[in-house]
Amino acid sequence: MEYTSLPEMGMKVSRVALGGCPLGGHGWGKVEDADSIAAVRTAIDEGVNFFDTADVYGFGHSEEILSKSLGESRHDVCIATKFGVRQTSGTETIKDTSPSWIRTAVEASLKRLRIDVIPLYYMHWPDGVTPIEDVMQELDRLRKNGKIAAIGLSNISAEELERATAVAPVSAVQVQYSLVDRKCADALAASVKKHGVPLVTWGSLAQGLLTGKYNQETLFPPNDRRHRYENFQGEKFTQNLKVDEAVLQVAKMHQCTPSQVAIRWLLEQDNVGAVLFGAKNSQQVRENISAMNLHLVQDDLDALGQMNTEETSEKRNRSMKYFLSSKN
């Protein structure tokens, strides 16, 4: 296992982290608590000490299952959770990063996680109303009062990061980043490098698209959020499948899985501190963690990099020639 340091934190964290969204049992099809618990415990056995969740995942259920799964080790690992998307009624949510809601949310998360201090506390999404300075002041107050150990921000712009770091230290920025989603990370690159803030990637496998499991005929049921995601719709899906095919070719060359290639590619990118992956069971955990043992040569990394769906068709065609020649 590879470990890294996050600023303002007293412990090193694993460079792959188990994402807790599927643990919530909502929006990803059928997920059994027993499988979720086994997945978390397998991650621990494999050396993972970085676990990500949010109060809105399963409307609190993800935090509760994570705490139950970790048992006493919950005091020894890095648990990152988030606030800022709150339930209003049923499955309806709104974004709220007001200081008053932050104070309410942190106490609820501490109770569900059964810990005294949250190691890393993220703002999940800006609410478009509360100034980032007000958010950071409240988070810094919580840090000084011992409720949280470090501050994280998620889904923010470079301009918001600049304003935030002027108020208090930021230990991590969580961003959607994968072989098919690069705009946000690219936009933040200069700012995170300037401030020495590592990226933690979410959507690292593009909600499963980069696992090689899906094709143009794939249909998701209504209880699976991917049936409405852009990455699985129309022309965008068609272009993404071309990237997936390139990932599959690299996987065949290295006798590994597409997921492992996608995760290893991210780990090799500038500014990336850790990669989040979701898993519904122990087998998926072991598969994804095995990306740590994969070595991609520079030609692989460069060719995959040029398969970006936002790149020119000429660059993508050059990459495909590399993969096709490598097959022979």
Residues with a known catalytic role: 57
Give 113's contacts (C-beta < 8 A, 6+ positions apart).
Answer: 63, 66, 67, 74, 79, 81
- Strands annotated E in the chain: 3-5, 12-14, 16-19, 50-52, 78-83, 85-89, 92-95, 120-123, 151-154, 172-176, 199-202, 272-278
At position 41, the amino acid (one-letter code) is R
Residue with tokens 């470090």: 150
Separation CA 246–CA 213 (nearest Å): 14
Pairing assessment for the beta strands 92-95 and 85-89 based on DSSP bridges:
antiparallel
Cβ burial, residue 30 (10 Å; 0-12/13-18/19+): exposed
Q: Which residues pair with 82 in a beta bridge?
A: 122
Which token pair is 257? Answer: 């899985």
